[in-house]
Amino acid sequence: MSRPGDGEQRRAGHPRRYTEETAWRAWDGWATLPDLDLPAAGQLVSVVSAHPDDDVLAIGGLVQRLRRRGCDLAFVCATDGEASHPDSPTMTPTRLALHRTDELGRALARLGCSGARHTALHLPDGRLGDASAELANRLEPSLQDAAVVLAPWRGDGHPDHEACGRAAVTVSDRWQAGPAVWEYPVWAWHWAEPGSPAVPWGRARAVRLGTEERLGKAEAINEFRSQVEPLSDDPADAPVLPHAVLAHFTRAVEVVFT
């Protein structure tokens, strides 16, 4: 998950503060969310992400469950995540992109998906909104045979995430019977509050994770060393995913909007 640019961290109307994970875990609304009904075994599920960690963070448990169910999984990453540390004195964007691509491969292997098809679009990190038409056109081949597409939520508050969600819906709408698009929140856990009317809770479906799924997801997240550990002692090399942020992705429930 790359940092959004200044002034883009939240859409208009979003609070300028972070919601602690303790508030989410104390929320009594989790029990009211219906469970997600999974696609049938053998169906193709295409997983779209903006950066080389968004999907693992948000739905790493669901990915494992789909694999065990026998769904065919394919992954598409729009950028190489080269803008996560724009002022780094130790890592060039090109080198960082290579690191993050390798990290994603190891993370997917932790989820049991080492043999799954993976497509990298190599679009510019932080500027997907400026390439919306190209993004949709290049996503299309990876989505055309899918029964379900998992993509970042169009209201997530991060411009790249929102661009990916919009592109997935655009592509699905090109066909008379296009795939269902299920959206997953990533950045929203930072700015939204439990029960917030800005979140489409009526579309929310819960994936309640078992112990092995949580463990597998944690191991996968730990593969993103460039994001969870400092690149150096320089402040510009600080982790993009410090403990307070990671806490949102270690809870026992994942959410998608159907």
Which pLDDT score, from 0 to 100, does residue 16 have?
A: 52
Whether 127 is covered by a domain: the verdict is yes
CATH number assigned to the domain comprising residue 211: 3.40.50.10320
- Answer whether residue 11 is part of any domain: no
Give a yes or no: residue 219 inside a domain: yes
Q: Is residue 144 part of a domain?
A: yes
Look at the chain and report how many structural domains it folds into: 1
Residues of the chain with pLDDT under 50: 5-15
> How much is the pTM?
0.93
Is residue 237 one of the residues assigned to a domain? yes
Q: pLDDT per residue over 169-198, tens digit each?
A: 999 999 999 999 999 999 999 999 999 999
How far is it, in rounded angstroms, from Cα 81 to Cα 3? 10
pLDDT at 18: 85
Report if residue 148 sits inside a domain. yes
Length of the chain: 258
Domain enclosing residue 79, as ranges: 43-257
The pLDDT assigned to 193 comes to 96
Instruction: Please check whether residue 138 lies inside any domain of the structure.
Output: yes
Q: Is residue 110 included in any domain, yes or no?
A: yes
